[in-house]
């Protein structure tokens, strides 16, 4: 048996219930893993609220770390006793023990502890595909400026450090001076408190009126229009979330008028569609974390029993860095 967090209907944090579930043996292509820590991400809110519809009842959660207890037929990259971490479909990581597909589960290097492993996989792999795979026309070179919204969040603080390691000039936005200072301390070249400054005007000033090559935006509705105005001609608007609400429909002609812009909506699991792709991305993440170029900041820890409060704080933008659930 395992304690697990389940929702029987979509709605607010009050829908998150702790239940006892039976856990069996892994089938072909599966593992059974006993968790040591569980990561909290905004996609969990989308699943709970119904923004991203899923079949109900639903165990939620997309990342965790732990120890492999058993492997099913055909699993060759993991064995019982291995330390492991993952960001993976289907949801279900908010639990003590689970059976799950092995494809996106990676062996966790000894140099990385379980809390860090649980906190970094979904957010770190997201930063990887954004900065290394979601690129504007001609790519990015050292010295290029990029705009990154929510720079003090879990993905943002990793992106600030990784961008600096790549030689990029990251302009980070956040909603308080404290969050701006945090992004700056983690490698952002410039920071903008969007509650005090017009980020569109500030980006134009910082870039000498040229604009940036790419905007990475997980905020959505509140930042969309001004973000398009921050782009240089042929620039890329890379949206990968909607914490402020979904972006309303827009006329494609706007992109031409604003400089023949590109727009893409990325998701992590498209990039992780094969075992080989997952491992390649994870190897890059493990290397920068183990090498010290990227430090994983865990600012909030909640016992599993406080999962409702964890979701309230996340939605209220009270969190910084990464958040984990402890078991």
Whether the per-residue pLDDT at 137 is higher than 90: the answer is yes
Question: Would you state the structure tokens that stand for residue 134, as one six-digit string?
Answer: 């979601």
Pick left, alpha or beta for residue 156 (phi over 0 → left; psi -120 to 50 → alpha; otherwise beta): alpha
Instruction: Report the pLDDT value the prediction gives residue 279, as an integer from 0 to 100.
Output: 96
How does the average pLDDT of the chain come out, rounded? Answer: 96
Q: What is the dihedral of CA 167, 172, 178, 183, to 10 degrees?
A: -30
- CA 317 – CA 175 distance, rounded (Å): 9
- CA 242 – CA 237 distance, rounded (Å): 14
- CA 164 – CA 46 distance, rounded (Å): 30
Could you read off the pLDDT of 34-75 as tens digits, one per residue? 999 999 998 999 999 999 999 999 999 999 999 999 999 999
Whether the per-residue pLDDT at 177 is higher than 90: the answer is yes
- CA 250 – CA 265 distance, rounded (Å): 14
- Please give the model's pTM, rounded to 2 decimal places: 0.93
Instruction: Report the pLDDT value the prediction gives residue 298, as an integer from 0 to 100.
Output: 95
Could you read off the pLDDT of 247-304 as tens digits, one per residue? 899 999 999 999 999 999 999 999 999 999 999 999 999 999 999 999 999 999 999 9
């Amino acid at each position: 048996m395992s304690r697990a967090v389940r929702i029987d209907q979509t709605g607010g944090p009050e829908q998150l219930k702790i239940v006892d579930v039976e856990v069996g043996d892994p089938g072909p292509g599966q593992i059974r893993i006993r968790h040591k820590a569980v990561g909290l991400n905004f996609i969990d809110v989308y699943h709970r609220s119904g923004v991203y519809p899923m079949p109900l009842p639903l165990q939620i959660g997309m990342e965790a770390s732990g120890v492999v207890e058993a492997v099913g037929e055909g699993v060759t990259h993991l064995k019982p006793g291995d330390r492991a971490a993952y960001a993976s479909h289907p949801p279900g990581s908010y639990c003590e023990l689970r059976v799950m597909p092995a494809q996106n589960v990676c062996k966790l290097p000894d140099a990385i502890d379980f809390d860090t492993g649980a906190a970094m996989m979904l957010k770190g792999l997201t930063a990887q595909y954004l900065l290394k795979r979601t690129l504007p026309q001609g790519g990015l070179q050292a010295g290029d400026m990029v705009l990154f919204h929510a720079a003090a969040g879990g993905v943002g603080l990793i992106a600030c450090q990784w961008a600096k390691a790549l030689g990029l000039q990251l302009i980070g936005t956040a909603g308080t001076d404290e969050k701006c200072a945090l992004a700056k301390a983690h490698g952002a070249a410039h920071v903008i408190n969007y509650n005090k400054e017009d980020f569109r005007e500030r980006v134009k000033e910082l870039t000498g009126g040229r604009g940036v090559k790419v905007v990475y935006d997980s905020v959505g509705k509140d930042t969309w229009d001004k973000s398009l105005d921050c782009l240089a001609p042929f620039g890329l608007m890379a949206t990968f979330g909607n914490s402020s609400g979904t972006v309303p429909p827009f006329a494609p002609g706007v992109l031409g008028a604003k400089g023949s812009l590109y727009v893409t909506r990325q998701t992590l699991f498209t990039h992780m569609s094969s075992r080989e792709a997952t491992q390649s991305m994870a190897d890059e993440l493990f290397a920068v974390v183990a090498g010290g170029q990227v430090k994983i900041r865990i600012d909030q820890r909640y016992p599993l029993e406080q999962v409702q409060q964890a979701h309230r704080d996340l939605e209220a933008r009270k969190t910084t860095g990464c958040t984990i659930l402890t078991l």
